[in-house]
């Protein structure tokens, strides 16, 4: 071992060939627990993260640790509690399994892959900004432990339906934008839904629970619905959210922002069944 910082942090390098992915990984040890901070070597193929190295548990995957390593699948053990920003971004991942003790997934942790299969652990509480953006997910099960789904979390996938559990309190800007969603169930614990959260999908009906106290702009709008050209609304990420003549925002406001069922029929929103 070689000391890197004042006595408490140690680094060592070991070469691992795990399930076909030969990688040299750099780990940081602190108080007997390991964080994988970098990976080199050939890479590619399927990766199973070890639960322990030299009898010390692997508890975190560092920022961009496995980014761009040509990986096709990843299994993360129950020992891990944190997956940092961009940890697995820019691979060729089609399958990811995340252990039950992972609490937080960082910004764009699995962005820009080819994910079609995703298993989220039952201890997860926070899904970071853009964590799974630009993938190929067509289905998704959100664990009942999750409390926050950050902006752009599942932006630009192929989801056809979404069920948000009662545990979730906030859904960020464009979290599910640009999918193929026709059906959404919003849990009774949701307080805030950000701008364009479900923008550019195929939703024709939605039930807004009484818990919702803040509903952003263009949450359920579909580009091109208006008979007249719309005015572009651009959010902080530069994504255009179209204003339409028959947009949901105006109708929702006209009802006094009542909780309940809203349906789109013949280009017009209606309240009630």
For residue 207, pLDDT beyond 60: yes
What percentage of the chain carries pLDDT values higher than 70? 81
Question: Using alpha carbons only, how large is the chain's radius of gyration in Å?
Answer: 21
For residue 19, pLDDT beyond 80: no
Structure tokens at 224: 């091109």
Q: How many CA atoms lie within 13 A of 130 on its CB side?
A: 13
Residue 67, pLDDT score: 94
DSSP one-letter string for 170-215: EE-TTTT-SS---EEEE-TT--EE-TTTT-SS---EEEE-TT--EE
- Taking only the tens place, the pLDDT of each residue in 120-132 is 999 999 999 999 9
Secondary structure (3-state) at 57: strand
Q: Is residue 265 very low, low, confident or very high in pLDDT (cuts 50, 70, 90)? A: confident
Listed by start position, the domains of the chain span 13-264
- Taking only the tens place, the pLDDT of each residue in 75-134 is 999 999 999 999 999 999 999 999 999 999 999 999 999 999 999 999 999 999 999 999
- CATH number of this structure's domain 13-264, picked from the four choices 3.30.70, 1.10.287, 3.80.10, 3.10.20: 3.80.10
Q: Is residue 237 very low, low, confident or very high in pLDDT (cuts 50, 70, 90)? A: low
Mean pLDDT of the chain: 83
Nearest Cα neighbor of 131 from 148, 147, 151 is 151
Judged by average pLDDT, the poorest of 23-37, 69-83, 139-153 is 23-37
Residue 254, pLDDT score: 79
Q: Is residue 229 very low, low, confident or very high in pLDDT (cuts 50, 70, 90)? A: very low
For residue 233, pLDDT beyond 50: no
> Sheet containing 205-208: which strands, arranged edge to edge?
205-208, 260-265, 268-271
What percentage of the chain carries pLDDT values higher than 90? 56
Q: Is residue 224 very low, low, confident or very high in pLDDT (cuts 50, 70, 90)? A: low
Give me the mean pLDDT over the 237-254 stretch: 60
Give me the mean pLDDT over the 236-258 stretch: 64
For residue 228, pLDDT beyond 50: no
Residue 245, pLDDT score: 38
| This prediction's pTM | 0.85
Residue 21, pLDDT score: 59
């Amino acid at each position: 071992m070689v000391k890197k910082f004042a006595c408490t942090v140690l680094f060592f390098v070991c070469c691992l060939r795990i399930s076909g992915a030969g990688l040299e990984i750099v780990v940081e040890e602190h108080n007997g627990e390991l964080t994988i901070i970098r990976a080199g070597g050939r890479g590619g193929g399927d990766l199973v993260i070890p639960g322990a190295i030299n009898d010390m548990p692997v508890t975190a995957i560092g920022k961009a640790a496995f980014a761009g390593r040509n990986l096709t699948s990843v299994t993360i053990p129950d020992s891990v509690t944190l997956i940092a920003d961009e940890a697995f971004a820019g691979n060729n991942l089609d399958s990811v399994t995340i252990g039950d003790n992972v609490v937080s997934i960082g910004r764009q942790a699995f962005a820009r892959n080819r994910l079609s299969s995703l298993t989220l652990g039952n201890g997860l509480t926070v899904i970071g900004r853009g964590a799974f953006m630009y993938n190929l997910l067509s289905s998704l099960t959100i664990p009942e432990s999750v409390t926050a789904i950050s902006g752009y979390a599942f932006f630009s996938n192929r989801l056809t339906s979404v069920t948000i559990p009662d545990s979730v309190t906030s859904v960020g800007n464009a979290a599910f934008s640009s999918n193929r969603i026709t059906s959404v169930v919003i849990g009774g614990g949701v307080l805030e839904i950000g701008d364009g959260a479900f923008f550019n999908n195929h939703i024709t009906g939605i039930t807004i629970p009484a818990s919702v106290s803040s509903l952003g702009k263009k949450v359920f709008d579909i580009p091109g619905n208006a008979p007249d050209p719309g005015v572009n609304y651009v959010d902080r990420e530069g994504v255009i959210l179209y204003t339409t003549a028959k947009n949901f925002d105006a109708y929702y406001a006209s009802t006094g922002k009542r909780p309940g069922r809203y349906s789109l029929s013949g280009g017009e929103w209606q309240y009630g069944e």
